[in-house]
Amino acid sequence: MSTTKAKVERPASVRKGGGRFDWRWAGLAALLAAAVYAPFQLVPFHVFQLTMVLVYAVALLGLNLLVGHAGQISLGHGAFFAIGAYTCAILLDRFDLPYPLTLPLAAAVAFVLGLALGVPAMRLRGLYLALVTLAIAIFLVPLLKRFEELTGGSMGLTLAKPTPPAWSGLAEDQWLYFLTLAVAVAAFLLAASLLRSRVGRALHALRDNEIAAEVMGVRLSFYKTLAFAWSAMFAGAAGCVYTWVIGFVSPDSFTVNLSITLLAGLVVGGLGSLSGPVLGGLFVMFVPSISQDINDAAPGVIFGLLIIAVMYVAPTGLAGLAGRLIKKIPRKE
Amino acid sequence: MSEDLVVEDLHAGYGDARVLHGVRFTVRQGEVCAILGPNGAGKTTLLRALSGVIRARGTITLGGTSLTGRSPDAVARLGVAHVPEGRGTFMPLTVEENLRLGAYVRRGPSVEEDLERIHTYFPVLKKRLKQAAGSLSGGEQQMLALGRALMLRPRVLLLDEPSLGLAPLVTRELFRIVQAINTEERTTVVVVEQNAHLALGIAQQAHVLETGRIVLSGTAAEIRADEQVAQSYLGYRV
């Protein structure tokens, strides 16, 4: 059973034939090699930018589980990102925990909160769910400011960044990059294996047809809540790594804007595909700064227009567009 | 043969709209039961109430076990497979993934055996296993829906308007397969149909549902011979 199972559960983009599948692995290996090579070639600022792409990619990977695979919506994932970031910051600030320990704890806190908020939220759908999740993002910022004792209030918390161990011979920016890369690869593998399992099939079923899924024995509320909690967990892990990389958290870094940008990045990157979150991470990281270069006065306008443009050219996101372009390359039979 | 599915005084609806008003009927083990009736009579609602998709008041028992108030997944675990109106195809998933989802409440090597068994009933699906289910024709999707329901190894199969939107030839083929499943697997079948000819052709018992009440019950032959039914549903006088 297990062998056939692995054969079946693949994302839509690779389903069409055996030939392309090998290309994918080759592409993935090349990408990973490039990712390992890149920090030795780039200046520290660019290494930092790539690190942030990976941070966003981890958050988007989680959001993709919820939106792309389970078919639910969240306008509040910035809140779970913030919860991860603050959990990490408080653990470092208050308890002097070694930083590697903050990652599982931040992910766990986000997971539990995701579960707690997911139980009521996932009984709603569509616009109602969108509003409730938006509310989560809205009330978090004042809450963070209110509990000044713990969170540092509006001033935020400043923390020491993880220092590279002597044996590695890496600079700080490179060390942070590799830490993030390791978390991103682990998150990617975790998401991929979740989706290939029976649970992944249940998520796809409830996304595509709720009634058909439930009469087949899929417990809708259970899986929706689980998907919400998982996606919160990924966002929390990403938030934790964010704190490592930036060394500073403040409420104003996690406004509603972050939640909306995450969702926009995911849709632009490509819903329901495994490469979508990485492409979305690139979009979220680079497009605002590029649009700043194009027009100093109105980066927001350029950002918005670019989203509209992508949606017209590639309604299935950049991942879908890439898939279509690859198909056009003539191949030897 | 013993009575398997027993429905008594069943009330159900959507919010304030009451649709079923005290429906009562029984289906014997291994039998095909047809529910006939015009649009809006409550046929789909009846099946939804049986499978737990909507809440219902009254009594539904399967082999003595109460189904009333159970969630759809619990009902599915008790062996009730519902082929919903409009087939419920998971369009982006492959045919094989759709079939495997049918066996969602079961695990183990028997799932592979069942896939083989489905292929003997529906050879057309075997050729299309790796294809996205959304690319199938309407008839093929209905076969997929039926095959997927069989993957549950159901004790009772609930079919909601299987002929909907299909060519007559395809519909006949479909009903032939339903009959084969019923005889070979001894699966109890409750089929809701507007096409009374076809449904009565494979059913032993039939009930006519009008505005949420069963107005006529009998053997398929009796119902076919009923003048009222002939005029309303078969389109000719006896």
Q: Is residue A263 part of a domain?
A: no
ipTM topping 0.95: no
pLDDT tens figures, A252-263:
889 888 999 899
Q: What's the confidence (pLDDT) of residue A12?
A: 44
A1, A205, A214 member nearest B111 (Cβ): A1
Query: Cα–Cα distance between B82 and B76 in angstroms, integer?
Result: 8
How is chain B split into domains, by residue range?
Answer: 3-234
Look up the domain containing A81 and give its range: 43-255
B88–A212 CB contact, under 8 Å: yes
Contacts of A211 in chain B (CB under 8 A): 53, 84, 88
Query: Cα–Cα distance between A4 and A163 in angstroms, integer?
Result: 45
B97–A209 CB contact, under 8 Å: no
Residues 28-47 of A with CB under 8 A from B: none
Which long-range contacts does A143-151 make (Cβ < 8 Å, 24+ apart)?
A: A144/A82, A144/A86, A144/A251, A144/A254, A145/A251, A150/A90, A150/A94, A151/A86, A151/A89, A151/A90, A151/A249, A151/A251
Amino acid at position B200, single letter: L
Do B34 and B207 meet the contact criterion of CB atoms below 8 Å apart? yes
Q: Is residue A222 part of a domain?
A: yes
Contacts of B107 in chain A (CB under 8 A): 1, 198
Query: Cα–Cα distance between A220 and A108 in angstroms, integer?
Result: 23
Q: Is A195 on the interface with B (CB under 8 A)?
A: no
CB contacts < 8 A, A to B, total 86
A211–B112 CB contact, under 8 Å: no
Q: Is A204 on the interface with B (CB under 8 A)?
A: yes
Q: Is residue A277 part of a domain?
A: no
- Given a cut of 70, whether residue A21 has pLDDT beyond it is no
Q: What's the confidence (pLDDT) of residue A331?
A: 58
The residues, ordered by sequence, that sit 6+ positions from B202 with a Cβ below 8 Å of its Cβ are B32, B34, B175, B178, B179, B182, B189, B191
Name the DSSP class of A245. H
Do B203 and B12 meet the contact criterion of CB atoms below 8 Å apart? no
Domain B3-234 falls under CATH 3.40.50.300: yes
Q: Is B116 on the interface with A (CB under 8 A)?
A: no
Q: Is residue A97 part of a domain?
A: yes
A212–B89 CB contact, under 8 Å: yes
Helix (H, G, I), strand (E, B) or coil at B156: strand
Q: What's the confidence (pLDDT) of residue B145?
A: 94
Contacts of A204 in chain B (CB under 8 A): 90, 92-93, 97
Q: HEC profile for A124-149?
A: CCHHHHHHHHHHHHHHHHHHHHHCHH
A9–B97 CB contact, under 8 Å: yes
Strands B3-14 and B156-160: unpaired
Amino acid at position B180, single letter: A
pLDDT tens figures, B126-136:
899 999 999 99
Q: Identify which has the larger pLDDT, A325 or B149.
A: B149
- Given a cut of 90, whether residue A184 has pLDDT beyond it is yes
Average pLDDT over residues B159-168: 91
Torsion angle of the four alpha carbons B205, B208, B209, B213, in this order, in degrees rounded to the nearest 10: -90
pLDDT tens figures, B47-64:
999 999 999 999 999 999
Q: Is B78 on the interface with A (CB under 8 A)?
A: no
Name the DSSP class of B1. -
pLDDT tens figures, A72-96:
999 999 999 999 999 999 999 889 8
Mean pLDDT of chain B: 90
Question: Predicted confidence band at B180 (pLDDT cuts at 50, 70, 90)?
Answer: very high
Do A185 and A28 meet the contact criterion of CB atoms below 8 Å apart? no
Q: Is B109 on the interface with A (CB under 8 A)?
A: yes
Residues 2-21 of A with CB under 8 A from B: 4, 8-9, 12, 15
- Given a cut of 90, whether residue B70 has pLDDT beyond it is yes
The terminus-to-terminus CA distance of chain A in angstroms comes to 32
Helix (H, G, I), strand (E, B) or coil at A291: helix
Question: Distance (Å) from the C-alpha of residue A110 to the closest C-alpha of chain B?
Answer: 29
- Given a cut of 50, whether residue A129 has pLDDT beyond it is yes
Query: Which contiguous run of DSSP H or E holds residue B87?
Result: none
How many domains does chain A divide into? 1
Residue % of chain A over a pLDDT of 90:
47
Q: Nearest Cα to B151, choosing from B96, B206, B188?
A: B96
Q: Is A203 on the interface with B (CB under 8 A)?
A: no
Q: What's the confidence (pLDDT) of residue A19?
A: 46
Q: What's the confidence (pLDDT) of residue B1?
A: 52
Question: Distance (Å) from the C-alpha of residue A208 to the closest C-alpha of chain B?
Answer: 5
Question: Distance (Å) from the C-alpha of residue B147 to the closest C-alpha of chain A?
Answer: 12
pTM of the model: 0.86
Q: Is residue A64 part of a domain?
A: yes
Q: Is residue A226 part of a domain?
A: yes
B100–A8 CB contact, under 8 Å: yes
Closest residue in A to B158 (Cα) is: A215
